[in-house]
Chain A
Amino acid sequence: MVSATHGSDEIHRIKFSSMGCPCELQVEADAQLAERAAAVVQAEVDRLDRKYSHYRDDSFVAMIGASADAGESIVVDNETADLLDFSAALHAQSGGKFDITAGALTRVWDLQSDRVPEASAIEHARSRCGWQRVEWARPNLRLPVPGMRLDLGGVVKEYAADRAAVLCRQIGVEHGIVDLGGDLAVIGAHADGSAWLAGIKAPRDTRQAIAQIELARGGLATSGDYERVMIVDGRRYSHIVDPLSGYPVASFASVSVVADSCLIAGAASTFGMLLGLDSGYAWLRDLGLPFLCIDADGNASGTLARENAEA
């Protein structure tokens, strides 16, 4: 735990890894409280990772996949039901582009293989996606097509950040921020009231921050194609797949949004990416939340772009 001072209490920075990405908790409190906060945050993020990761075969999402293959329905707990309801609403609002059943498709696009999958494999995977085909009557869920998989990637990480911030507040932390791989949730501004400085990584060179955003409350989420990306014949293929076409989205390199919670910021940034270069920007502008889009050539646009341009 690295400590630095800012105002009366020290700032403790606790780095850990979960959900397949580097995470960090920054807390401005005394050492014991910071210790307890770190334990609480890691436990919660790991719980959610174990429950919802589609990389692991012992997760609840894997169990749901198994029930799909067996053609049976499965009863889900309240938390999962809320996540499913949220995803269903996003599916309706995005005209089907935001689809958590695109698990089969994300599997077919194996980005480590540096190989564009066969059209038939893509078509086969696409045939096993489609939230509109799911039978969802809370608390009973049935994925009608064997092989259909849930991928809560666009929701769970942001939800975990918010959860972590809430739990920190509950144990008495007033000043802090949780960062799960670029998705940030503010526990509370600095003791002196000043905002936390959040850096947004440059899509082309993740070591270097392209923008600094002040966050006093709420959350910041960034979705982009830089972490897991594959370049074949000079074309970039990102991990964000459009379930309607079956192919990764030709869109911005990254979209960042600030909102009242990391969950809403995440949904908005994913929408921005899914709607792509033309309607994505217009949709984000009408949304009314502060946002930053960076295209493949590194040009920044959006309400947060101007502030950084001058700095």
Chain B
Amino acid sequence: MGARPHLSPSLAALMSAAAALAPEAHAQTATGAETDSRVSYRFNDYSEDSLAPGPHLGDPERYRVLSQQFQLATRAGSESAIDVSATHEVMSGSSPWYLLRGPDNRPIQVMSGATIQEHRNEVRASWTQGAGTSSSTTWSASYSQERDYRATALGVERSVPLGDALTLGYGGSFSHDLIDPFEAEKYDRVRHEDKNSASAFGSLAWVIDRASVLQTGLQLNVEHGYLSDPYKLVSVGSSLVDDLRPDRRVQAAWLARYRRAFSAADAALHVNYRYAQDNWGIVSHTVEAAWFQTLPSRWELVPSLRYYSQQQARFYAPYFVDAGSHNFYSSDYRLGTFGALSASFNLRKRIGKWEFSGGVERYHAATDYALGGADAVVPGVVSYTRAFIGLDYLLQ
């Protein structure tokens, strides 16, 4: 009498009628419907590929981050829900510091010394009114703290039904970050800086038919304050200067998300597209597709693919011949032109009230993956592998 893959209606009716008299049998095979109230734990192992072979100075072993996530999501009363989560990260490894022009014009990547171990802790709480209905309001707050960076953010999201087929979404957030670079004296870095950012979004979701829904939305994000990277330097002529970026950034992102259920296959297809553009000149396209396949005896397989391509910031270059007309310069690889292909595969298995999950993501970036081909070289472009295991306990 192994786990029945299929509980026939007549058997379910019999078993539910006998529930009071045969509680033991009932409890043993309780299937436990999907429930929003759960306690979750995830362990993530993120490790970047070491530096590509080529001239470099310093430790090529790049970043390794082990992070643990804890979450409690539960109903509070019949209409609202609370979601509290905490993240603890331990980071180690070196990261690109600056680039030197090599004798044959090939860039030499200088890596910063491997940091011993840095910790980052973040707590996040949200309260949703009208949970599970199309008309809801979610208030959220988060605080992230590491040795050199503290960020506080508040947000609100509202969902309003417009008639039977449309749902309007809107909201915004505000974040205040404090930056206190370590070893500021030793490396003559900025001592204490801060940054404020505000975002607003609007979305419209449309129920196309009983199995598919499409959502389109726009998010505007304005950042003001210290936006440079205090740990990175830039070769300008023969000297090394601090990474210097504008103190304002306005970014607009337009997203479209499509969900389609396939009840015969007991699966669902997710397709997302994002176009983003900012006043630093970075334009990016992102396409993502995921297939959620439910299998008998409560297994779920989720393969997914993602393609990302970005165009470099105006003030990005591996190195600058001379100061010239530039008033901003950065050689941070994250501002260069590159594309990235990533594939991930997640698994989930439900046994009674427990849910075991795991998965792996491989992200590979390269300058020639970019739409429209490569621009200036980006020696520090990063690829990584991320794996996670998770355990959920379903409340109620």
Give the complex CA separation of A261 and B6 in angstroms: 18
Taking a contact as CB atoms under 8 Å apart, the answer to whether A258 and B1 are in contact is yes
**Does A261 lie within 8 Å of B10, measured CB to CB?**
no
0 or 1 for each of A256-289: is its CB under 8 Å from B? (1 = yes): 0011110110011000000000000001001111
> Does B24 belong to the interface (CB within 8 Å)?
yes
A194 to chain B, nearest CB (A): 15
Chain B 291-308 per-residue mask, 1 if CB under 8 angstroms from chain A, else 0? 000000000000000000
Give the residues in chain B near A82, CB-CB below 8 Å. Answer: 20-21
Shortest Cβ gap from B13 to chain A (Å)? 5
Is A57 located at the chain interface by the 8 A CB criterion?
A: no
| Residues on A with beta carbons closer than 8 Å to the beta carbon of B16 | 89
Number of A-B contacts (CB under 8 A): 67
Q: Could you say which interface size class chain B belongs to?
A: 20 to 34
A85: nearest residue on chain B (CB-CB)?
B20
Q: A217-B1, A287-B8 are in contact. Are A260 and B28 (CB under 8 A)?
A: yes
List residues 1-55 of chain B with CB under 8 A from any CB of chain A. Answer: 1, 4, 6-8, 10-11, 13-18, 20-22, 24-26, 28-29
Interface contact B22-A283, CB-CB below 8 Å: no
Closest 9 CB pairs of A and B: A89-B17, A260-B25, A261-B22, A261-B25, A288-B8, A82-B20, A263-B22, A263-B18, A82-B21
The distance from the CB of A78 to the nearest CB of chain B, in whole angstroms, is 9
- Distance in angstroms between the alpha carbons of A297 and B233 in the assembled complex: 94
Interchain nearest-CB distance for B342 vs A (Å): 42
Contacts A/B (CB < 8 Å), 6 sampled: A86-B21, A89-B17, A260-B22, A260-B26, A260-B28, A267-B14
The answer to whether A287 and B11 have CB atoms under 8 Å apart is: yes
Residues 240-268 of chain A, each 1 if its beta carbon lies under 8 Å from chain B, else 0? 00000000000000000011110110011
**A83 in contact (CB, < 8 A):** yes
Least CB distance, A226 to chain B, in whole angstroms: 24
Per-residue contact bits, chain A 153-195, to B (CB 8 Å; 1 contact, 0 not): 0000001001000100000000000000000000000000000
CA distance A225 to B104 in the complex (A): 99
Contact A288 B20 (CB under 8 A): no
Are A86 and B15 neighbours in the complex by a CB distance under 8 Å?
Answer: no
Contacts of B21 in A (CB 8 A): 82-83, 86, 159, 162, 263
Given contacts A93-B13, A261-B22, A264-B22, 15 further A-B contacts (CB under 8 A): A82-B20, A83-B21, A89-B17, A90-B14, A162-B21, A162-B22, A218-B1, A260-B25, A261-B18, A261-B24, A261-B25, A267-B14, A267-B18, A287-B11, A287-B14
Residues in A whose Cβ lies below 8 Å from that of B17: 85-86, 89-90, 93, 267
Shortest distance between the CB of B266 and any CB in chain A (Å)? 18
Interface residues of A in 83-97 (CB under 8 A from B): 83, 85-86, 89-90, 93
A37 lies within 8 A of chain B by Cβ: no
Question: What's the nearest-Cβ distance from chain A to residue B293, in Å?
Answer: 23
| Cα distance, A287 to B26, chains bound together (Å) | 17
- Return chain A residues, CB-CB under 8 Å to B10: 93, 283, 286-287
Is A216 close to B, CB under 8 A? Answer: yes
Q: A258: which B residues are within 8 A, CB to CB?
A: 1
Contacts of A264 in B (CB 8 A): 14-15, 18, 22, 25
**C-alpha gap A217/B17 in the complex (Å):** 20
Q: Is B29 within 8 A of A260, CB to CB?
A: yes
